[in-house]
Amino acid sequence: MGTVQAAYTLGKRNKGKMIFALLLAALPALALAEVDSGFVFEYHRYTALRSVLLAVTQDCPDITRLYSIGQSVQGRELWVLEISDNPGQHELGEPEFKYVGNMHGNEVRGRELILLLAQYLCGEYKAGNSRIVSLVQDTRIHLMPTMNPDGFEVAANQGPDGNGWTTGRNNMQGIDLNRNFPQLNSIAYSGESSGTNQDHIPIPSSYWSGTVAPETQAIITWLQSYPFVLSANMHDGDLVANYPYDTAKSGGFWGSGYATTPDDALWRDLATTYAQAHGTMATTGGGSCGFHTQGGITNGADWYSLSGGMQDFNYLHTNCYELTLELGCDKYPRESELRTEWTYNKESLLAYMEQVHIGIKGVVTDTNGNAVADAKIMVQGNNHGVTSGKFTVIVVHCQCTTLTPSTRGCDRAATTEKPNI
């Protein structure tokens, strides 16, 4: 029977040391060098997409790793590019971040933005941009340009002018991948009145008796294999940063009512970070999109309710916080618009990644200094915790935070309090 302990220090993480880092303000938005002037702003079919990713690994071999998490229905690899100062390794105190694009095959901005971001990070790292060097050294970044490569090929065969609202949206089984994840919301909602923790909910065995797309299965395995902390899933069809919950707590579809999570203030803060850094999301709304009137952000269920979404699954099954980014009113813009889309989103993509460091990082040990693998970390007043002895807890800027680490077999838990700074 041992006491769970936690030691911490304020400030930025020092590599190799078992410490916490608490950053209570976002990193400054530094001027970006224009090494992206040589980028090719065009759509990349499957083979060309792989070529771009391979080119980045060749240009920056010391900070990149290309890997696949599985295959689509038609056998296309689901490629992920890792960017980190030690690719292939999870490092203590270095949080893991991911961007996922093209979940719906005919929603294409995210696919190209992620390819551009990969090239940009490589080029700026080599150029010595201090902001990018810090980001790469302190973060393990995973970039998935397309979760639905089969659907994209269907949409690309018609192109932007002939593409329908749903052409290529689903995978080749006809499954909407953003309705195919385990629906854990009902379990979470049923426990709200009793104060039951709303985190790390197991996947019900009944889920596997249904049709699970190979792309969905690959993502679930990926999420269970990497300790992701922060993520965004890119879509098109509107212009807004959407945050959990996506599933309404009562019946209905459109405007079913705000579905609050235990981390509502944090979610609003994260969504606002992306929206305000974007060229038009929080201001003009890009013409026909109207969410700029509420700052370019929305609660998912308050917009419309969906079940089986990836965003809520990340939050309720793992330690990962994921936004759904709707990046444009039209789902398949012309190639001539891609340069402008990159300009609109570049700062947002960087600023949002940096939010993974707005929190507390650390390791929980027993009295003998041994790491406790199954510890749970709770923030005072919040029923959504994170697990594992190595952890990152994202908190709202300037939030006074009391952490309580605990595990089975311990007679008491030490608390670590951070003052308002």
Q: What secondary structure letter does DSSP report for 330?
A: S
Which residues, 6 or more positions from 351, have their beta carbon under 8 angstroms from its beta carbon?
Answer: 26, 29, 273, 274, 277
Q: In 64-164, where do the E strands start and end?
A: 64-71, 77-83, 96-100, 140-144
Tell me how far the alpha carbon of residue 339 is from its chain's centroid: 23
Q: What is the CATH number of domain 35-356?
A: 3.40.630.10
Q: What is the CATH number of domain 5-25+359-418?
A: 2.60.40
> What tens-digit pLDDT sequence spans the chain (421 residues)?
333 444 333 333 333 322 222 222 233 333 334 456 679 999 999 999 999 999 999 999 999 999 999 999 999 999 999 999 999 999 988 999 999 999 999 999 999 999 999 999 999 999 999 999 999 999 999 999 999 999 999 999 999 887 778 999 999 999 999 999 999 999 999 888 777 767 889 999 999 999 999 999 999 999 999 999 999 999 999 999 999 999 999 877 776 799 999 999 999 999 999 999 999 999 876 655 778 888 999 999 999 999 999 999 999 999 899 999 999 999 999 999 999 999 999 999 999 999 999 866 656 656 666 666 666 555 555 454 455 544 445 555 444 444 444 444 443 444 444 433 3
Domains 5-25+359-418 and 35-356 share a fold: no
Tell me the catalytic residues: 326
Cβ-contact 367, 408 below 8 angstroms: no
Question: CA dist 292 to 62, 116, 237, 269, 281, Å?
Answer: 41, 25, 15, 16, 6
State the Cα–Cα distance between residues 312 and 181, nearest whole angstrom. 9
Domain ranges of the chain: 5-25+359-418, 35-356
